[in-house]
Each structure stands twice: as structure tokens, then as C-alpha cells.
Amino acid sequence: MPDSAGSTATADPTTVDVAVLGGGICGLTLALELRQKVPGLSVTVVEKSVHPVKEATHKVGESTVEIQAHYLRDILGLGEHLESDQIRKFGLRMFFTYGDNEDIAKRVEYGQTGEAPLATYQLDRGRIENELGMRIQSAGATFETGTRVVDVALGTGDEPHSITVTKGGIERRLAARWVIDASGRASILKRQLGLQKSLPHEANSSWFRLEGPVDVDNWSDNAEWRDKVPSGKRRLSTNHLMGQGYWVWLIPLASGSTSVGVVADAKVHSFTSISTFEKTLAFLQVHEPQLAAHIVANREKLQDFRAMRDYAYGAERVFSGDRWCLTGEAGVSIDPLYSSGGDLMAISNGLITDLVARDHAGEDIGPLADIHDQVYLLVSDMWLLIYQDQFAVMGNAQVMVAKVLWDTMIYWAVPGTMYFHDQLRRMFQSPPILTGLVQIRTLHSRVEQFFREWSAIDNPVVSDHFADPYLFFGFFLELHEQMATDLSDGEFEDQLLKNVALLEQCAGQLGATVMDKLRDSTDPAVTAQLTRWRADKQLADLVNKYRVGAYPEPIDGSWITFGGPQARVPA
């Protein structure tokens, strides 16, 4: 039957167990995981782009943190590729606003000075997607590139789903038991099923790539500042330039390019202020002049540009017992800070693989699909709390250092530890773990609110300070290493309970330390906030429990005060 473009459909559909719509990093890693864990599955990936793609493909998602790195390296077996063809990341690094930002050495800096125990990576997206494309075919999956999805008709009951695709003017059908939407922001199934969900987080972004390095070490000839990172590896970090209502990323890529992105709160900086390259450059000239000067000097090396309005969104549902799922940005997209997208991709792919494997083995996966759906949406909601209404805090170095440490602690202590120990897909077997996750979500929400409240009344101008989390806090390093510690299920439950107690202790210490710091203030705004804090039962309980010494092992409170001696407050 010809369509409006004159294509012709073949009569008999190709039957497969799983059809994956989208062959970017999310769909390709899912296909590889499915073939590795259930070798008997027939898997077809449908991708509109022709492969191999350009090595340095312009896509967001170039920086990994621990969950995605573990997924790619240890679960999918990409360790050799990551070490030889990508860049080992030198951790998260942030520079907070000081004055006009003309001297990076004066800015409060957060970041490591030596290698972290668990490796993470900077990804050239085209390079890794080409590698994955070859690997899924070697693993026995079918990779249909240059192929566009025309229509998806979901089957009812035990009927297969029907997917109409077109390539080279020829239209054909796939009959699939499972259909997985990995189409990214196109969100084919989510739009079709009306599952779109707006999020209370409105931010915009623009990003581009420059040929060659952007080395922040070259922005200052201050020898003392340079020597704080003796390896000279600042450039290999995911560098963040933080300001009021915005942040900027700098990511080095193995192909030699540098990814540069601006992310801005829509309530503070309008989309039109960064909607074109010229406007983005003008924005940087005002807020980040050292970066802007480098861009102007290397203008001819600009490789591409893209801008995105209101990039965050959710989904009412992502997994269904009717044998369809959404994964990656086809379901939920929150914020690029802390590289949350790659972690959510790893988590969703693992939960989907579990459902497909159990169905293939003849299990009734209906109830489990509901549980996995709730778990995934709960975890993504915990991530949302990190960003929602928090961009105003980014201009406050004092509060942000504590916030970054808290965000990292909760990530390693809860979802990170759960993922490394394969507990998320087995949470239905342990109600106490699910209860603990809900408990942590409530605690996390109150602490993130506390950061906003603290920032609103206490924002000193500070400079000349360096906070290396691995050097200053023994418990911080232990949390990091603990993720990869081999624990039995019983040991894991005990460790999770200890982690919950540790986070409650840190939350109480945070409240107590800040309230003590501000108790002698005569500022009406401060005294009013102190009154509200003392009247807040949840916060008061956390603070009181901390003050009475309910926790046997004390924690160095310097994580709340820049990781050591107080930063210099200029006269």
C-alpha cells in the first residue's frame, strides 16, 4: 500500500522478541544488555541515522558519573574501550563566582587533587555509539540504520505489537512481543499514549563544541593556585563555572574537541539570552569573561551549536505489563548537572532487561512492571529535588559547597549503593529497602529546602579557597568506595540502614551548625528564619537528635564550612 510519500509496504512482518525504537546510546546499550543477559532473544534496533555516525556527534550526555560508568564498564564490558578510546574523567570540579570572574584563581574551587577510587569517563558520543553499533551486531542483534519509525500499533492481551518502518522508500512492518521506546526527546510512545508530564523545574540550555582544548589552568599564572592540582589535570575534570541562576560546563572529548554548555534558570535568565551562539557568547562575556575570551580567540574553531528551551520533563508511566517501556530521555529528562541522564538510562535499561528476561522465561510480569515503574519514578523524583528551585543557590559558594557534598553523599549512599549491588530490580523482595528509599526521599527534600532557606539569608563574599572532598572527609571517601564493596543481601540491608543513619546525622549537623553560626545575628530576616527553623518539627528533631549525641561516631563538620578552615572573607 503506497503512503503519501509513495513508499511501498511489504506484506509479511518480520517477527522479533524486542523492537527498540532509537539507536542512540540508550537504545544501543539496552540491546547489548538484552543480548548478553538473554542470548536467545531476537532484538532489532531501529535508528533513523545512518551508521557509522560522525565520531564527534553533537549530543548531550558526554560526562559520566559512577552509576553509568559502572554500567558501561562492568555490566556491558566496555572497559577497554573506555580506557583506550575515551577520556578518564578527573572528577567533578566547580568554580564559584567571585567579583567579575576575571581571575579564576580567586574563585572558591571544589574538586579533587588526585584520582578517585572509582573511575568515571568523558564520552565522545559518536565514538561510543559507533562502538556499540558494532557490538550489538556481533552479539546477534539486528541494527536497522537509516530507518524511520512511521507508526506503532500496540497489541492487546498477548498479541504482538506492530511497528511500521520505512527505509529508502520501502515501508515494512515488525511484529514485536516487546516494544521499547529509546527515541530520545522524540518520545514516540509517550506522545502516542499521552503520558507527558511537566516538571516544576524550568531551565534552558545552549551548547556547542570548539576544536581543541579549553584548559582552565591557562587562565591564571598564579603558581600557588596551579600547584593545588599538581597533576595539571584540571582540564580533564567536568569543569563547572557557577553563578547566580546559571552554570556552565566544560567537557574535554577524546576526539580533541571541547564541549561547552550554558544552563540557566528561566526565572533568572530568559531563553532568548542564550538562544543563539552570538547571544550565548554575549552572556558569557558578561558572566564568564575568561571563557568568553578563549572562545573569541578561537572563534574559527566553532564546530556546532544548539539551544533547548525548557528541557526538563517527566512521564506518568515508563514501564507497562502490556510489554512496552520508555527508557532514557524518551521517558524522563531532568537536568545535565551531575550527569543524571546517563545514570537514569542505566537504571531504566536494567529494570527493562529484568522484565523482558522474566517474561521470556514465562513469568507473569504484570505486578512487577508496576513495582519497577514506581521504583524508577521514585528514584528520578529524588534526582529532581537536587535541581528544583535550586539555581538561585548556585551564586552562593558557602552554601553550594555544602550542597554539592550533600548531593554526592546521598547519591553514593542510596541509589549508587543500590545500583552497584543490583538491588533496584530486586526491591520488591525487600520491603524495608523500599521503606528506606521513601524515608531518604523525605529527608532529602527537607535538606534541599534548607539550602534554599540558608542561602537566602547568608551569602558572604568569599575567595581563595579550595575544597577537595577526598582529602577533607574520611567518611566521604568510605561512602565512595563502599559502592563497589562486595556485600551479601543481608550485609547490604545493614549497610543501607547505616547509610540512612549517616545521612540523618549529616542533616542534623547541617541544621545545628548553620543555626549556631547565625544565632547572634540581629538581621530581622535571619532571626525570622531561625524562628521558623526552630518551629519546624522535622528539622528540629534532626537537630536535637544530633545535639544529644545520638550517633556514636562523630563527623567532622567542616563539610559545612568549605571543607576545612573558613574561606577568607575579604574586608
* pLDDT band per the 50, 70, 90 thresholds, residue 475: confident
Task: Between 312 and 4, name the one with better pLDDT.
Answer: 312
Q: Would you state the pLDDT for residue 436?
A: 81
Q: How far apart are CA 86 and CA 89, in angstroms?
A: 9
- Look up residue 57 and give its amino acid: T
| Residue 1 in this model has a pLDDT that exceeds 50 | no
Measuring CA to CA, how many Å separate 423 from each of 351, 419, 491? 10, 6, 12
Q: Would you state the pLDDT for residue 564?
A: 52
| Residue 378 in this model has a pLDDT that exceeds 70 | yes
Percent of the chain with pLDDT over 70: 96
Question: Do 208 and 237 lie in a common domain?
Answer: yes
Task: Between 54 and 207, name the one with better pLDDT.
Answer: 207
Question: Do 413 and 279 lie in a common domain?
Answer: no
Task: Between 464 and 199, name the one with better pLDDT.
Answer: 199
Measuring CA to CA, how many Å separate 310 from each of 39, 240, 307? 40, 20, 10
Q: How far apart are CA 34 and CA 182, in angstroms?
A: 14
Q: Quick one: average pLDDT of 310-329?
A: 98
- Look up residue 232 and give its amino acid: G
Question: Do 93 and 109 lie in a common domain?
Answer: yes
Q: Where are the alpha helices (DSSP H) in 361-396?
A: 366-387
Q: Would you state the pLDDT for residue 563?
A: 57
| Residue 571 in this model has a pLDDT that exceeds 60 | no
Nearest-5° Cα angle at 474, 468 to 477: 70
Asked, for residue 565, whether it belongs to a domain, the answer is no
CATH, residue 115: 3.30.9
CATH, residue 70: 3.50.50.60
Question: Do 188 and 214 lie in a common domain?
Answer: no
Last residue of a domain, one of 374, 391, 408: 391
Task: Between 405 and 470, name the one with better pLDDT.
Answer: 405
The 3-state DSSP class for residue 515 equals helix
Q: Would you state the pLDDT for residue 7?
A: 45
- Chain center to CA of 247: 15
Last residue of a domain, one of 340, 375, 391: 391
First to last CA, the chain: 79
Q: Quick one: average pLDDT of 200-208?
A: 97
Are 303 and 256 in contact by the 8 Å Cβ rule? The answer is no
Count the domains in the chain: 3
The 3-state DSSP class for residue 101 equals coil
| Residue 567 in this model has a pLDDT that exceeds 70 | no
Backbone φ and ψ for 365, nearest 5 degrees, come out as -100, 5
Q: Would you state the pLDDT for residue 19?
A: 98
Question: Do 425 and 290 lie in a common domain?
Answer: no
Q: Would you state the pLDDT for residue 570?
A: 40
Q: Quick one: average pLDDT of 431-447?
A: 89
State the burial class of residue 508 (Cβ atoms within 10 Å of its Cβ: 0-12, 13-18, 19+). Answer: buried
- Region label for 396, one of left (φ > 0), alpha (ψ between -120 and 50) or beta (otherwise): beta
pTM of the prediction? 0.95
Question: Do 372 and 386 lie in a common domain?
Answer: yes
Any idea how long the chain is? 571
Asked, for residue 379, whether it belongs to a domain, the answer is yes
| Residue 60 in this model has a pLDDT that exceeds 90 | no
* pLDDT band per the 50, 70, 90 thresholds, residue 3: very low
Q: How far apart are CA 18 and CA 46, in angstroms?
A: 11
Q: Would you state the pLDDT for residue 230?
A: 83
Are 280 and 274 in contact by the 8 Å Cβ rule? The answer is yes
Asked, for residue 525, whether it belongs to a domain, the answer is yes
| Residue 421 in this model has a pLDDT that exceeds 50 | yes
Asked, for residue 570, whether it belongs to a domain, the answer is no
Tens-digit pLDDT profile for residues 272-282: 999 999 999 99
Question: Do 186 and 324 lie in a common domain?
Answer: yes
Q: Quick one: average pLDDT of 429-447?
A: 88
* pLDDT band per the 50, 70, 90 thresholds, residue 56: low
Task: Between 55 and 286, name the one with better pLDDT.
Answer: 286
Q: Would you state the pLDDT for residue 5?
A: 41
Q: Tell me which of 166-180, 298-312, 472-486 is least confident.
A: 472-486
Q: Quick one: average pLDDT of 528-538?
A: 98
Question: Do 352 and 281 lie in a common domain?
Answer: no
Positive or negative: CA dihedral 558, 562, 565, 571: negative
Asked, for residue 1, whether it belongs to a domain, the answer is no
Q: Which stretch of DSSP H or E encloses residue 395?
A: none
Domain enclosing residue 522, as ranges: 396-560
Q: Where are the alpha helices (DSSP H) in 100-160?
A: 125-138
Question: Do 385 and 405 lie in a common domain?
Answer: no
| Residue 10 in this model has a pLDDT that exceeds 70 | no
Question: Do 520 and 430 lie in a common domain?
Answer: yes
Last residue of a domain, one of 308, 328, 350: 308
Q: Where are the alpha helices (DSSP H) in 139-261?
A: 188-193, 223-226
Q: How far apart are CA 518 and CA 568, in angstroms?
A: 18
Question: Do 410 and 529 lie in a common domain?
Answer: yes
Asked, for residue 566, whether it belongs to a domain, the answer is no
Question: Do 221 and 248 lie in a common domain?
Answer: yes
Asked, for residue 116, whether it belongs to a domain, the answer is yes
Asked, for residue 441, whether it belongs to a domain, the answer is yes
Q: Would you state the pLDDT for residue 140?
A: 98
| Residue 391 in this model has a pLDDT that exceeds 50 | yes
